[in-house]
């Protein structure tokens, strides 16, 4: 297939889809050496049970029902990017603007086991992780100084992970980066012009077209976006319009656990456990906000950004989104691995 330039409908950003520069989809899983075996317990790991004296204070803990054992823990990051004892007051430095490094930086320990990967968790355990995200998100939303709250996960060294024990992070701060503000403004412009949420329109098209759908259940659609920036990029998006992850119900978080378990399991199996980042793109807005729609974005680290991309701001994806979806669906039950009742 020759190259094609596609536009992300939600952001107006352009992506060059150039399959001739890449390999077949299954070759991506052969590029990385096998990971070394990881022990169930690591004596010098601060996140392993029995090493609590190495931890900063525990902010939140989800326990195993009917047991003293814990399933997830949340602690302050020992080396935080931001700290909560600062203000959000701006000040001038000559022609520049600055403010103290206010924010919270937390670590979500996803399992007591040092070797327990997120892709291998059972659905109930994974829902406990998601419920832990939800609890910390609500707690940080209650602080008026927090205008940005970001839940994210770095898996593997190419994604920025520095500790093997399975964990995610949550960072809040008192600023909103320009690129996030711009994305919201684009969504607002689309709504003002068409009277619809751009993400709801994307969902409706992808659900009908099916070429890029990887999974569908009662609450979520998982798909490779039309203008995916990297090979095997995936969005998991709620089918009910929701501006904010805060508004999800317990049942919806259970359906999200099911979708994540399937999607992360397929990436692990079919791409040889790739390094990846995922981010909850969510907006601290009222439930009725019509133009913004939260979703989970997963980006495997299979390619390296090069000079043209850095200079132009245009990503070059050497993998065809439709081929990526077909590869992830190969051998799965049903069309696009539908799990709808």
Residue-wise pLDDT for 47-100, tens only, equals: 999 888 888 899 999 998 877 889 999 999 999 999 999 999 999 999 999 999
pLDDT value of position 21: 74
Q: Is 232:243 a contact under the CB 8 Å cutoff?
A: no
Separation of first and last alpha carbons in the chain: 37
* 150 beta partners: 171
pLDDT score, position 286:
79
Please determine, for residue 333, whether its predicted confidence score (pLDDT) is greater than 70.
no
How large is the average pLDDT for residues 240-251?
A: 95
pLDDT at 335 over 60: no
Q: What is the mean pLDDT of residues 248-258?
A: 97
Dihedral sign computed on CA atoms, order 224, 229, 231, 234:
negative
Rounded to whole angstroms, how far apart are CA atoms 340 and 267? Answer: 21
The angle formed by the CA atoms of residues 29, 33 and 36, to the nearest 5 degrees, is 125
Q: What is the arithmetic mean of pLDDT over 179-186?
A: 93
Domain architecture of the chain: domains with CATH: 4-31+44-83+99-337 (3.30.428.10)
Which strand (E) or helix (H) includes residue 104?
A: strand 104-109
Closest to 149 measured CA to CA, from 117, 174, 125: 174
Question: Looking at residue 6, what is its pLDDT?
Answer: 95
Query: What's the pLDDT band for 7 if we cut at 50, 70, 90?
Result: very high
Q: Which residue has the tokens 């019509």?
A: 290
Residue-level pLDDT at 341? 38
The per-residue pLDDT for 288 is 80
Predicted local distance difference test score (pLDDT) of residue 157 = 93
Write out the two tokens for 282: 């969510």
Supply φ then ψ for residue 85, to 5 degrees. -90, 20
CA gap 47, 271 in Å, rounded: 28
């Amino acid at each position: 297939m020759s190259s094609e330039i596609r536009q992300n409908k939600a952001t107006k950003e352009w992506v060059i889809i150039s399959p001739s520069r890449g390999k077949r989809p299954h070759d991506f899983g052969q590029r990385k050496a096998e990971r070394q075996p990881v022990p169930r317990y690591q004596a010098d790991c601060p996140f392993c049970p029995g090493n609590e004296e190495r931890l900063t204070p525990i902010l939140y803990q989800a326990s195993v029902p009917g047991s003293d054992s814990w399933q997830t823990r949340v602690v302050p990051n020992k080396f935080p990017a931001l700290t909560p004892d600062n203000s959000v007051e701006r000040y001038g430095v000559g022609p520049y603007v600055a403010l103290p490094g206010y924010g919270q930086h937390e670590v979500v320990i996803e399992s007591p086991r040092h070797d327990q990967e997120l892709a291998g968790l059972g659905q109930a355990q994974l829902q406990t992780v998601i419920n832990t995200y939800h609890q910390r998100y609500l707690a940080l939303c209650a602080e008026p100084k927090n205008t940005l709250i970001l839940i994210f996960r770095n898996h593997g060294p190419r994604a920025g992970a520095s500790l093997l024990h399975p964990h995610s992070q949550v960072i809040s701060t008192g600023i909103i980066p320009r690129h996030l503000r711009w994305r919201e403004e684009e969504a607002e412009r689309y709504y003002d012009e068409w009277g619809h949420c751009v993400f709801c329109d994307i969902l409706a098209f992808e659900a009908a077209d099916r070429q890029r759908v990887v999974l569908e259940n009662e609450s979520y659609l998982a798909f490779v976006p039309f203008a995916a920036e990297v090979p095997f990029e995936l969005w998991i998006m709620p089918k009910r319009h929701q501006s904010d992850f805060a508004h999800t119900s317990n049942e919806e978080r259970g359906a999200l656990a099911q979708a994540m378990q399937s999607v992360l399991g397929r990436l692990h199996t079919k791409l040889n456990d790739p390094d990846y980042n995922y981010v909850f793109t969510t907006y601290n807005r009222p439930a009725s906000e019509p133009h913004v729609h939260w979703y989970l974005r997963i980006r495997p680290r299979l390619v390296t950004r090069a000079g043209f991309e850095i200079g132009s701001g245009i990503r070059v994806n050497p993998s065809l989104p439709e081929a990526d979806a077909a590869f992830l669906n190969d051998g799965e039950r049903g069309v696009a691995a539908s799990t709808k009742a």
